Amino acid sequence: MRSKLLTLLVVLLSAVALLGAETSPVERPPAAGPAQAAPPGEAGCLILSQGQLMAPPDTTVTGLDTTVVQGGGQAFGVRAPVRLSIADAGSSRSATAALGSRTGLVWAECAAPVTQTMLQLPDPATSDIVLLNTDGTDAVVNLTLYGADGEVIESGARGLSVARRSSRVVPMSVLAPAGEPVGVAVRTSQGRIIATARLSARAGGLDQALGLEPAQRQVVAGVPAKVTRVSLLLTNPGAEPVTASISILGARGAFTPSGQESVELEPMSTRALDLTTAVNGEPAAVRVDANRGEIAASLHVRLGADAALIPASEPSTDALVHAPGGTLHLVNPSDDDITVEVAGQSLSVAAGALVTLPVRAGANRVTGGPVVAVLVSNRGLAARRVLQVRETESGAQVSNDPGLR
């Protein structure tokens, strides 16, 4: 009898235990952590004359010889190429070196080294490429030239060595025919560089511009009022011909320039399109849409004795710039009206329209949109893109997966 009861008890207890296990809470594994805070951002600035560097807070500026450049607050006096270590990595593209010279005003963008980029030059005879290597290892660069009639094969464009922590000027006059625009694809086979297109005084004024990313739609903003000349540079780096549709975005909205609605781009070629008449002395921006593939676009603008080379930029929703005061060009390339906030003001920008706003020197942040923003100098001609602040803390969960093998 006792054993019967014992057995019955065992069965009942087991059943109870099973029910208890069924109703017990499921413990969850600890959630995967989000990506950690980003390390400091890096950037390099091509400084070819004396000027002032305006950078985000907590930026360390060192010369290529690792000498720390002394500066107060967010402004540094510079006269040579420098490297930046920016605590807030997301704003590493907002620093600006305002360089003045007899031949014009230059607002140099500071950017991180890359392994490939695209430059455009209006005339190899009056412009060149400067390769800046801020790393501690040598870099080897290969240039691919896209001229008016297609790719320009030139042996001197391959295997260009740029020593560590130094710069090298590549004169384009010896590589490409004069008088015709040229697009240059810059790729490193070793190391990284900061590639800059530089206009000489003979180009109408000194200026320099960084590289740009080809895309199917390009928006180039920053044409001030009363320009002397506006030339749109288009490069098709692909192997298929491309038809690029041109739109001018002005204060009253977008319009198609008469007789210049579209332009045919042969494979691996570059063309220049004179939009002076179309712009008609008004502040404007240019929108280019390719029917296929990707194209590069920039503007060569002349105003009096000065000139500027303005590359295309992507619409941003949160852009930041540290620069001298000037006029902020806000362009809405989309088909919908947008609202942006700048310096405490809220502005509406109609679809395809351009709005200008004077801003002070220092940090200027543009939120909302998406909007293409370019800061243009009030005196002389210098322009600087206002670029998207990058997200440095990804919300993505990061976890170890032992099954990944």
CA 87 to chain centre: 19
Beta bridge partners of 299: 232, 310
- Closest contact distance (angstroms) between CB of 61 and another protein is 14
Query: Does residue 243 belong to the site contacting another protein (CB under 8 A)?
Result: no
Of 72, 73, 259, 402, the residue at the interface with another protein (CB under 8 A) is 402
What binding mask, one character per residue, do residues 173-192 give for another protein by CB under 8 A, x or -?
-----------------xxx
- Closest contact distance (angstroms) between CB of 81 and another protein is 16
Residue with smaller CB distance to another protein, 15 or 169:
15
Query: Does residue 153 belong to the site contacting another protein (CB under 8 A)?
Result: no
- Chain positions 261 to 280 lying near another protein, rule: CB under 8 A, are none
- Closest contact distance (angstroms) between CB of 118 and another protein is 13
- CA separation (Å) from 289 to 121, 202, 269, 354? 20, 31, 16, 18
User: What does the alpha-carbon distance between residue 204 and residue 122 come to, in Å, rounded to a whole number?
Assistant: 11
Taking Cα atoms as reference points, which of 181, 330, 340 lies closest to residue 263? 181
Query: Does residue 115 belong to the site contacting another protein (CB under 8 A)?
Result: yes
Between strands 383-388 and 316-323, the pairing is antiparallel
Q: Which stretch binds another protein (CB under 8 A): 4-12, 198-206, 308-316, 354-362?
A: 4-12
Of 60, 63, 135, 343, the residue at the interface with another protein (CB under 8 A) is 135
Bond before 370 cis per omega within 30 degrees: yes
- Closest contact distance (angstroms) between CB of 321 and another protein is 19
Half-sphere exposure at residue 291, Cβ-oriented, CA atoms within 13 angstroms: 12
Bond before 25 cis per omega within 30 degrees: no
User: What does the alpha-carbon distance between residue 85 and residue 83 come to, in Å, rounded to a whole number?
Assistant: 7
Residue with smaller CB distance to another protein, 134 or 327:
134
End-to-end CA, the chain: 59
- Chain positions 46 to 105 lying near another protein, rule: CB under 8 A, are 85, 89-90
- Chain positions 7 to 46 lying near another protein, rule: CB under 8 A, are 7-8, 10-15, 17-18, 20-22, 24-30, 32-36, 38-42
- Closest contact distance (angstroms) between CB of 33 and another protein is 7
Between strands 217-223 and 71-72, the pairing is unpaired
Number of residues that bind another protein (CB under 8 A): 60
Of 51, 81, 104, 113, the residue at the interface with another protein (CB under 8 A) is 113
Query: Does residue 391 belong to the site contacting another protein (CB under 8 A)?
Result: yes
Query: Does residue 397 belong to the site contacting another protein (CB under 8 A)?
Result: yes
* Type of residue numbered 85: S
- Closest contact distance (angstroms) between CB of 331 and another protein is 23
- CA separation (Å) from 264 to 156, 270, 290, 354? 29, 10, 10, 26
- Closest contact distance (angstroms) between CB of 210 and another protein is 13
How is residue 342 written in tokens? 């700048």
Which residues lie below 8 Å from residue 173, measured CB to CB, with a gap of 6+?
A: 124, 125, 128
Structural contact between residues 308 and 383, judged by C-beta atoms closer than 8 angstroms: yes
Scored b (16 or more CB within 10 A) or e, 230-258 reads bbbbbbbbbeeebebebbbbbeeebeebe
Residue with smaller CB distance to another protein, 7 or 243:
7
Q: Footprint of another protein on this chain (CB under 8 A)?
A: 3-4, 7-8, 10-15, 17-18, 20-22, 24-30, 32-36, 38-42, 85, 89-90, 112-116, 135, 137, 190-192, 390-394, 396-405
